[in-house]
């Protein structure tokens, strides 16, 4: 067997596993909010700035619009957001928080703190500085991979 093909030698497998386990850790916190993790991400974008075009939300989440459209439809069905055609351009869809969606922000405010407890209780991250270091490294990797992606398009 080629050494480079061993699972233990794959950095990407570690990222995949961490991502999956973090999403799994969010599950009990988001279940009480009736949100999936991807829906939670969309809601966070809208809590930062309400009334955004679908394209802007997709760009902020680094996803394609066809990926977030089903999420938005489910959020609208649940009464958290409203989708409307743009006034200047009917092809554009603007997403806004409903009253229920705005109220959800208060309920969700504890989620990051609870997740931080999950990490510290499990001795995963000890200090805020370590979290900043990891976030900075990941941001650098994301930027490099996005640049590579854009160069190949």
Give the pLDDT confidence of 44-56 residue by residue, as tens digits: 999 999 999 999 9
**The pLDDT value given to residue 115:** 86
Neighbours of 15 (CB within 10 A): 12
Instruction: Tell me the fold of 3-122.
Output: Arc Repressor Mutant, subunit A (1.10.10)
pLDDT at 89 over 80: no
Q: Phi/psi zone of residue 123: left (φ > 0), alpha (ψ -120 to 50 degrees), beta?
A: left
Mean of the pLDDT values across residues 131-147? 89
For residues 114 and 89, the model is more confident at 114
3-state secondary structure of 38: helix
User: How many whole angstroms separate alpha carbon 54 and alpha carbon 118?
Assistant: 32
Confidence of residue 150 (pLDDT cuts 50, 70, 90): confident
Phi, psi of 127 (to 5 degrees): -135, 155
Residue-wise pLDDT tens digits, 95-134: 999 999 999 999 999 999 888 877 666 566 567 777 788 8
Mean of the pLDDT values across residues 12-39? 94
Report CA-CA distances (Å) from 135 to 37, 89, 142. Answer: 19, 37, 10
Range of weakest confidence among 35-44, 88-97, 119-128, 134-143:
119-128
3-state secondary structure of 114: helix
Mean pLDDT of the chain: 90
Closest to 95 (Cα-Cα) out of 57, 51, 48: 51
Mean of the pLDDT values across residues 2-16? 90
């Amino acid at each position: 067997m080629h050494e480079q093909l061993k699972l233990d030698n794959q950095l990407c497998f570690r990222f995949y596993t961490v991502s999956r386990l973090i999403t799994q850790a969010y599950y009990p916190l988001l279940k009480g909010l009736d949100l999936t993790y991807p829906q939670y991400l969309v809601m966070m974008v809208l809590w930062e700035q309400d009334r955004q075009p679908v394209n802007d939300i997709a760009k902020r989440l680094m996803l394609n619009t066809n990926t977030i459209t089903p999420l938005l439809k489910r959020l609208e069905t649940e009464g958290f957001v409203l989708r409307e055609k743009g006034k200047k351009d009917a092809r554009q869809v603007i997403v806004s928080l409903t009253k229920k969606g705005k109220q959800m922000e208060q309920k969700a405010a504890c989620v990051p703190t609870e997740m931080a407890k999950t990490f510290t209780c499990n001795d995963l991250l000890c200090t805020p500085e370590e979290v900043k270091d990891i976030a900075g490294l990941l941001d650098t990797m994301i930027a490099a991979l996005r640049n590579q992606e854009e160069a190949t398009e």
